[in-house]
């Protein structure tokens, strides 16, 4: 008997992340499962209830602060290299969730990383940044209870990065990120500055902070937790906590949407017609013929259309469960019909979102201090 080869897991914030088995992350990377905490969360979000958020580090500390009405923060951000897509939508919703549950919210426009990782000049990333902030506001982020900033303009973040650079060696950076050009190491230190910014005296001092991210960002958390410990005497930092969401499948059925292939994703700024076409052309877990599908059912586990409902487009958990067990696996719906239903829901959402977003462009410019 031949054993199966071990599943391949690669977590790389600057490259390709491959997760073949989320369960293995608990043993191999020390990430804690999210599910056992669900009962302690008074009003869990859809992503929490449905297992889209599957792991965390030290979230208990944040939950205790929430329960006892103590100060805590949420911190995350976006690399301004393109319009909002379904991955950045996920993170934004998580930030807004914690803001609406009492957190001071910090949202970073990671334009230094956009430059170092993607070579996008600051003038160009600024255009995306305005749109990204308008998206965030349209989704419900309250700027009165939050702080939105650009890395390249935030001196306090850069000052922290300079100090942190004395706390790491090249060997540590290589161990975490592999062999990279120095700019990426610099941008990782700046991200550590972002994550610990909410704990500076100007923002009320040390406090539990949750960083909701995709699992590909975990190396930044590991580095930052280490730095928080090393610099505890000077700053009294509380080690940051994190939550991890799964990566939504690409529309071609690949494990992750890829910027390099626009047919694997859609953005919230594309026209409903273009989005509809992409959904119609999407891979599914369907059977070759309608007759077989009705008889044998289809496979939602490999289907990006199912992921779209699960992550974003079904509001009610009952509808997700019904699609998975009854409609899809039970062969009660054909993929063509299912896609048409999704197109109707996505079109309605995107039209409404784009309408709201237009109203927030001026506010976004004001926040980012651009003309």
Any contact of residue 206 with ligand SF4 (CB under 6 A)? no
CA atoms of 55 and 31, how far apart (whole Å): 6
**251 near ligand SF4, judged by CB under 6 A:** no
Query: Are 196 and 129 within 8 A, CB to CB?
Result: no
Helical (H) or strand (E) element with 10: strand 9-10
Provide the token pair at 168: 């790491």
Tell me, residue by residue from 314 to 353, as one string, x for binding to ligand SF4 by CB under 6 A and - for no binding.
---------x----x----x-x--x---------------
Residue of the chain from 120, 197, 298, 350 that contacts ligand SF4 (CB under 6 A): 298
List the one residue from 192, 285, 312, 314 that touches ligand SF4 (CB under 6 A).
Answer: 285
Which of 133/305 has CB closer to ligand SF4? Answer: 305
Distances (CA, A) of 32 to 26, 61, 112: 6, 13, 30
**Which one of 195, 305, 308, 310 is in contact with ligand SF4 (CB under 6 A)?**
305
Closer CB to ligand SF4, 136 or 298, in the complex? 298
> Could you say whether residue 129 binds ligand SF4 (CB under 6 A)?
no
143, 99 Cβ separation under 8 angstroms: no
The site for ligand SF4, by CB under 6 A, has a size of 14
Closer residue to ligand SF4, CB minimum distance, 116 or 338? 338
Min separation Cβ 65 and ligand SF4, Å: 39
Encode 5-66 in three state secondary structure.
CCCCEECCCCCCCEECCHHHHHHHCCCEECHHHHHHCCCCCHHHHCCCEEEEECHHHHHHHH
Nearest alpha carbon to residue 283 among 271, 270, 301: 301
Would you state the structure tokens that stand for residue 350, as one six-digit string? 């995107």
* Residue that is written with structure tokens 């600024």 in the block: 126
> Which one of 78-86, 148-156, 231-239, 295-303 is the stretch in contact with ligand SF4 (CB under 6 A)?
295-303
Q: Which of residues 237 and 309 has its CB atom nearest to ligand SF4 in the complex?
A: 309
- The number of beta carbons lying within 10 Å of the beta carbon of residue 132 is 26
One of 286, 312, 314, 350 touching ligand SF4 (CB under 6 A):
286
| H/E segment holding residue 150 | strand 146-150
| 161 to 180: interface string for ligand SF4, x by CB under 6 A | --------------------
Closest to ligand SF4 by CB, 14 or 313:
313
Q: Which residue has the tokens 């998975």?
A: 324
Rounded least distance, CB 269 to ligand SF4, Å? 25
Residue 72 CB partners (closer than 8 Å, separation 6+)? 62, 65, 66, 102, 103, 104, 207, 208, 209, 210
Given the complex with ligand SF4, which of 223 and 333 has the nearer CB atom? 333
Nearer to ligand SF4, 47 or 333 (CB): 333
Among 88, 284, 308, 310, binds ligand SF4 (CB under 6 A): 284
Question: Does residue number 308 form part of the binding site for ligand SF4 (CB under 6 A)?
Answer: no
Alpha-carbon distance values, 245 to 78, 87, 193 (Å): 15, 9, 22
φ and ψ at residue 241, rounded to 5 degrees: -100, 165
Q: Give the number of residues written for the chain.
A: 371
The reply to whether 306 sits near ligand SF4 by the rule CB under 6 A is: yes
> What is the footprint of ligand SF4 within residues 65-94 (CB under 6 A)?
none
CB of 289: closest distance to ligand SF4 in angstroms?
13
Q: Specify whether the CB–CB gap between 136 and 92 falls below 8 A.
A: yes
CA angle 179, 85, 213 (to 5 degrees): 55
DSSP character at residue 327: I
Enumerate binding residues for ligand SF4 (CB under 6 A): 284-286, 298-300, 303, 305-306, 323, 328, 333, 335, 338
């Amino acid at each position: 008997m031949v054993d199966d080869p071990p599943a391949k897991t690669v977590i790389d914030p600057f490259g390709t992340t491959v997760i073949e088995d989320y369960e293995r992350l608990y043993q191999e990377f020390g990430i804690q499962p999210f599910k056992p905490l669900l009962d302690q969360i008074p009003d869990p979000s859809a992503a929490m209830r449905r297992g889209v958020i599957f792991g965390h580090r030290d979230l208990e500390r944040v939950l205790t602060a929430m329960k006892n009405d103590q100060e805590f923060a949420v911190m995350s951000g976006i690399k301004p290299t393109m319009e909002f897509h379904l991955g950045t939508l996920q993170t934004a919703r998580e930030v807004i969730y914690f803001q609406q549950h009492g957190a001071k919210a910090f949202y970073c426009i990671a334009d230094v990383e956009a430059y170092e990782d993607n070579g996008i000049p600051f003038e160009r990333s600024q255009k995306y940044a305005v749109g990204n902030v308008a998206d965030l506001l349209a989704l419900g982020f309250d700027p009165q209870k939050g702080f939105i900033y650009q890395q390249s303009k935030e001196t306090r973040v850069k000052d922290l990065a300079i100090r942190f650079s004395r706390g790491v060696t090249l060997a540590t950076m290589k161990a975490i990120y592999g062999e990279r050009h120095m700019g990426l190491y610099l941008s990782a230190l700046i991200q550590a500055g972002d994550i610990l910014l909410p704990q500076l005296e100007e923002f009320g001092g040390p406090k539990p902070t949750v960083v909701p991210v995709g699992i590909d960002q975990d190396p930044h958390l590991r580095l930052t937790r280490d730095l928080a410990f090393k610099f505890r005497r000077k700053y009294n930092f509380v080690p940051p906590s994190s939550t991890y969401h799964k990566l939504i499948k690409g529309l071609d059925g690949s494990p992750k949407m890829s910027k390099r292939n626009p047919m694997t994703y859609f953005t919230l700024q594309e026209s409903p017609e273009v989005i509809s076409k992409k959904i119609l052309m999407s891979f599914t877990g369907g059977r070759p013929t309608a007759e077989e599908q009705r008889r044998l059912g289809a496979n939602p586990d490999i289907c990006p259309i199912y992921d779209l409902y699960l992550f974003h487009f079904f509001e009610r958990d009952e509808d997700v469960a019904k699609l998975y067990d009854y409609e899809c696996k039970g062969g009660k719906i054909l993929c063509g019909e299912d896609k048409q239903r999704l197109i109707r829901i996505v079109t309605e959402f995107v039209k409404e979102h784009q309408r709201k977003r237009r109203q927030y462009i001026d506010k976004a410019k004001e926040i980012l201090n651009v003309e």
